[in-house]
């Protein structure tokens, strides 16, 4: 699982929650770094802010869909909450669109972020 979020506090909160749910987490503060990490890590899902510096979250999603078209769950986690924003997210390849702030209980309902059983090999 990978949060791509330019706000340090939001990114840290997402990392902590996902780790508590036993996800292997990598994080990035901008779209370019997020794409680089995805090439090495091949995540099963990503929470992506739309208003990222450099390349925005829409473009990150488009590029991730080309690089890893199957099995990757992309969730837009953003302050952009209009119906137009949700439609653009869908068109860019996102599977879901959540407006911040998002309560952890809401995150837990998403297939890409549902809590996992701990890996006994760790």
For the chain (122 residues), the mean pLDDT of every run of 10, in chain order, is 82 88 89 91 88 93 86 88 92 91 80 52 47
DSSP one-letter code for 53:
S
Identify whether 36 is part of a domain: yes
Identify whether 113 is part of a domain: no
Identify whether 18 is part of a domain: yes
Identify whether 83 is part of a domain: yes
Identify whether 69 is part of a domain: yes
Output the domain CATH number for residue 43.
3.40.50.2300
Taking CB atoms within 8 Å and a gap of at least 24, the contacts of 91-97 are 92/57, 92/58, 92/59, 92/61, 92/62, 92/65, 93/61, 93/62, 93/64, 93/65, 94/48, 94/61
Total count of domains within the chain? 1
What gap in Å lies between CA 17 and CA 54, rounded to an integer? 26
pTM of the model: 0.83
DSSP one-letter code for 82:
S
So what's the pLDDT on residue 7?
Answer: 86
Q: Find the domain containing 15 and state its range.
A: 2-107
What gap in Å lies between CA 41 and CA 105, rounded to an integer? 26
So what's the pLDDT on residue 108?
Answer: 79
So what's the pLDDT on residue 69?
Answer: 67
């Amino acid at each position: 699982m990978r949060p791509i979020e330019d706000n340090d506090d939001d990114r840290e909160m997402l990392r902590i929650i996902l780790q508590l749910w036993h996800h292997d987490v990598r994080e990035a503060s901008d779209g370019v770094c997020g794409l680089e990490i995805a090439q090495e890590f091949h995540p099963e899902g990503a929470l992506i802010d739309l208003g990222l510096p450099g390349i925005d979250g829409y473009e990150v999603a488009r590029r991730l869909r080309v690089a890893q078209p199957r099995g990757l769950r992309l969730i837009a986690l953003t302050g952009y909450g209009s119906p137009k924003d949700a439609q653009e997210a869908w068109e860019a390849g996102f599977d879901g669109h959540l407006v911040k702030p998002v309560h952890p209980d809401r995150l837990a309902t998403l297939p890409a972020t549902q809590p996992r059983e701990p890996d006994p090999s760790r």
